[in-house]
Every structure is written in C-alpha cells, then in structure tokens.
Structure 1
Amino acid sequence: MQLIDKTALITGAGGGIGRAIAERYAREGARVAVADLDLAAAEATVAQIRAQGGDAMALAMDVTDEGAVDTGVAAVVERWGSLDIAIANAGIQHIAPLHALSFADWRRVMAVHLDGAFLVTSAALRQMYRQPSGGCLLYMGSVHSKLASPLKAPYVAAKHGLLGLCRSVAREGAAHRVRANVICPGFVRTPLVDRQIPEQAEALGISEEAVIRDVMLKDTVDGEFTTLDDIAEVALHLAAFPTAALTGQSVVASHGWYMQ
C-alpha cells in the first residue's frame, strides 16, 4: 500500500471524483478526512470506507467559509496528528453565455473553485510547514484549465486560476518539503456533468446525445468519458510521488481530448 500512515483531507468528497479518491486512498492505507457541504453525503462515504476496513472521518465544510475550513483542518490534526495530503476538489458549474451571465453567478463559481482552493491551501500549509515531512497539495483542475468551451466562462477562469495558485505553492512550499500539482480531467460522468448535458442541449439548441457526442467527447481519441477510477489513479500517483521532481505540474487525463 502506497499511503500507509498518511493523513489526507479531500473536499467535495461526498460523491463523484472526491469520493472515488477518498475510497482509493483509504484502500492504500491513508487516514481520510471526507469534507463536503453535505454532511450526510460525507458520512455515507466514510461508512463505505469503514465497511472496507479503512479509517475515515466526516467533516461538514463550506470551502468558501474561512472559519469552516480552518476548523476542519484543525479537527483532522487533532484526531490524527498530521495533515500530509490536501485536495481542493469541491466544485460547482453554471452554464450561461457571457452576455447573460450575472455577476452573482460569476462570483459563486469563482468562490467555490478558486477562493475555496486558496482557503484550503492556506490552512493546510500552516500545518504542513510545521511538519518535518512537509506535505502534498493537489488541485482538481480540468481540461478547462488549458482551453475554453462556450457557456462556461467562470468555470474556465477559475480552473485556469488554479494553475497559478498551484505553481505559487510549488515555489513557496519547496523549502518546507511541500509539493503541489493540478489534476486536469476530461469529462467524467459525475452528477455535475450529468446536469450540464441538458443545460447545454437547451443553450445550444441540440439534443443531449449531440452534446455528448459532438461537444463533450468530440475531440477524444476514442469517444469515451474519463472514469472516476482514472482520476483516482492519477491522484494516488501524485500523492505518493516521493520527490519534488514532480511539483508545479498539471497532469491531464482526458482520453486525448487535450494533449500537451
């Protein structure tokens, strides 16, 4: 097992990508703090981990609330004594053309993705800098950290912003043995993506099947969605990587949608 004696905090881990990573980390020996806005969802993830013999705790966390993030990180450290891996995964989406996008909706998406990532980073670094072993920060970016799609301006802007935050952490954190990297998935069939399909179909005036075939998967090499297991595998590799040879990087897992 690759993460024995490691403690991980994962936001947005009540479902989707976050839950898949939490379960994979637990199978690899990590103690996992499952943070989510929906405490019941976090508790369900924890129950599944414990049923498989893993060690986990649930946290109710609004990543846009500085106090909630700080309290959550403190609870993890109080329980397990360290924080070795922190993953800023919580995210939302809003589909609208720029000319009709309200400032409130822009701010809401940016707050969860970018402000939330900053707050998790700040709280995690204060703990990791106290640890001789340092730590690992991971950010859930997207292929939209690299390019843009219509109707997703705040999401695209926020995901691009995570690249800058990550690289700053990699530079500042190196002296404290802290690494930072961004995971950039293609379309993963999560509830977030499932909600986008009818929204984009309506906005673009095409069928839901066409959204999947001609928008979401058009540029992949095989017409396939990226899977939860794909992203959990990347997250495991980045967390377990032993040196700063891999820091400040963005790893794209998208079935060839974006090649760098």
Structure 2
Amino acid sequence: MSLTDKVAVITGAASGIGKEIAKAFFAEGAKVVIADLNIEAADATAKELDPSGARAMGVAMDVTDEAQVDAGIEAVAARLGGIDVLVSNAGIQIVGPIETYKFSDWKKLLAIHLDGAFLTTRACLQHMYAQGRGGSVIYMGSVHSKEASVLKAPYVTAKHGLEGLAKVVAKEGAKHGVRANVICPGFVRTPLVEKQIPEQAQELGISEEDVVKTVMLKDTVDGEFTTVEDVARTAVFLAGFPTNALTGQSIVVSHGWFMQ
C-alpha cells in the first residue's frame, strides 16, 4: 500500500481538505500536484511541502475549463513521469431554497463538481491506461451523496452524481487496474463550511450555534466535526489499496452521521 513515487494530482489542493490530502500523500512518499484555481496559492503549498520542487508542484487548473485541464494534466505527466492517483476534490457551496435559487448558481456548482470530475478523470485515465501500471481515482463526495439537507439542492445532486461516475469508472477501469472510489465526509470545519453557518442561520432563522448543534452535527454519535486529517487518512488508504477488491465503493467518514 505504499505511495512511494506515485504521482498524485489533487484538485482544489491549495487549502482545506485538498491541502491536507496533499500533505498526507507527500508524507507517504508520493509526488504531489497541487491543482488549483489560485496558482499563487498552489505554488506556495507545493513549496511548503518540498522547497526543492522535486516531489511537489503547483498547476493552474480551472476544472471546468476543458483546455486548461487537458494542458495541465499533460504538463504534470511530462514533468513527473505519468499519473497514478487523481483526487477530484475541487468544489464550492452555494446554499438557498429551490424556489429562489438562481439557475446561474445551479449551473456553476454542478459544473465545478461534475464537469470538473469528468474532465480531470478523462485526462488522467488516458495516462493511467497507457502506462499499464494501474491507478486510483478518488472523488470527494459527502454524506450528501447519501442524504439530503434543506437549502442544498445542487450540492446534493452533484454529490449523488459522483457516486454514479465512480461506479462507471470502476467498471471501465478494472481491466486496466484502475480503481475508483468516493470519500463521503460529514461536516468538516473548512472555510467552505464556516461560510455556510451564518448563511444557514439567516435562512433558517436560528442562531449559528443552533446551526452547528441541530443541523450539522445532530445525527453524529458524538457531536463532533469530521476533521481534515480523518479524510486524508481515508484518501491514503484508498490511493494505496493494491487490488480491484475495493473499487466502486463509497466510504463514509462522518462520526456516524450516516451508517450504511
């Protein structure tokens, strides 16, 4: 289950969960690619991990831009010698009730989560298949891949969609030794979630403390947030799993919020 010298592309990796996964992969010996919309932050994260630049690099990547995704993955493969792992992590959140939700926000959110997952997957699979050494594709789902919450119609739709994509990639990739799985975290206290707390408090007419206690964490077994470290450990496990025995699956990391 070693990640030594494996080339791992993590989207949205300049901060939050993506950055923690990059750090964990690097610690396990992988060469990590910080793919992010913010190239300055991506380069800074890569330099933080490896000042020499030998095992970490930043790449500008708007995951909804087909040309930029394809060019970025080609540049990574040329510099680092292929692609072994993709973590499709880039995402946003825009909350609001369906009856007033802007179509432009719906399209933006689905484009980042679903179009981005498709474009990065397609680009990376071409290299994984050609290399003949297998690979691992990991999608960042959510408990919202399994459940629904008010005010999150496009997010829930997108996260459910990632499970379907992973299952198809698992079936198509099996003959090439490529696995595909989904990590489904509960609420992780990243800037994405911090932003939601006051937004939901306003929409629901309750306090921010009640959003945390009675909305976000009410169904956990211990009232605790999932941590970025929890998610990163799961990503390391999935990335390094050696066979097709674990593919097409979703792993829920949520302090018991959702139990399969």
Matched, 1:85 2:85: yes
1:46 maps to amino acid: A
Give secondary structure in 1 for the equivalent of 2:171. Answer: helix
2:223 — aligned with what? 223
* 2:142 paired residue number: 142
Paired residues of 2:47 and 2:53 also in contact (CA < 8 A): no
Checking the alignment, whether the CA contact within 8 Å between 1:27 and 1:54 is kept in structure 2 is no
Greater Cα offset, 100-109 or 1-10? 1-10
Q: Secondary structure at the match of 2:230?
A: helix
2: CA distance, partners of 1:86 / 1:141: 14
Alignment of 1:174-253 (within 5 A): 174-253=174-253
CA apart distance, 1:134: 1.7
SS at match of 2:50: helix
CA shift for structure 1 position 50: 1.0
Amino acid at match of 1:55: R
User: How many pairs does the alignment contain?
Assistant: 260
> What are the equivalent positions in structure 2 for 1:86-101 lying under 5 Å apart?
86-101=86-101
State the Cα deviation string for residues 16-46 of structure 1 (Å, max 9, x = none): 0000000110011000010000112111211
Query: How does 1:10-89 map onto structure 2 within 5 Å?
Result: 10-51=10-51, 55-89=55-89
Normalising by structure 1, report the TM-score. Answer: 0.98
Instruction: Flag structure 2 segments of 5+ consecutive residues without an equivalent.
Output: none
Amino acid at match of 1:138: I
- Secondary structure (helix, strand or coil) at the match of 1:180 reads strand
**What's 2:121 paired with?**
121
- SS in structure 2 at match of 1:200: helix
Q: Deviations over 1:166-192 (max 9, x none)?
A: 000000010111100000000000000
Query: C-alpha separation between the residues in 2 aligned to 1:45 and 1:163?
Result: 29
Residues 54/235 of structure 1: CA separation in 2 closer, same or farther (3 Å cut)? farther
Distance in 1, Cα, partners of 2:8 & 2:70: 15
TM-score by structure 2 length?
A: 0.98
The answer to whether the aligner puts 1:259 opposite 2:259 as a matched pair is yes
Which letter does structure 1 place at the counterpart of 2:107? R
The RMSD of aligned alpha carbons is 1.3
Give, in whole Å, the separation in 1 of the partners of 2:159 and 2:86.
Answer: 17
Tell me the CA shift for residue 131 of structure 1. 1.2
**Cα shift at 1:53:** 9.2
Determine if contact 2:142/2:184 at 8 Å carries over to the other structure.
yes
* CA displacement 1:58-99 (0-9 Å, x = unmatched): 011000000111011101111011100011100001111000
CA distance in 2, matches of 1:53, 1:129: 26
Matching of residue 170 in structure 1 with residue 170 in structure 2: yes
Q: Which residue of 2 aligns with 1:133?
A: 133
Write the distance in 1 (CA, Å) between the matches of 2:103 and 2:172. Answer: 32
Query: Amino acid of the residue matched to residue 93 of structure 1?
Result: Q
**2:255, 2:165 → 1: CA distance?**
25
How far 1:55 moved relative to its partner?
A: 1.5
Q: Which runs of 5+ in 1 are unaligned?
A: none
Q: CA deviation at 1:102?
A: 1.3
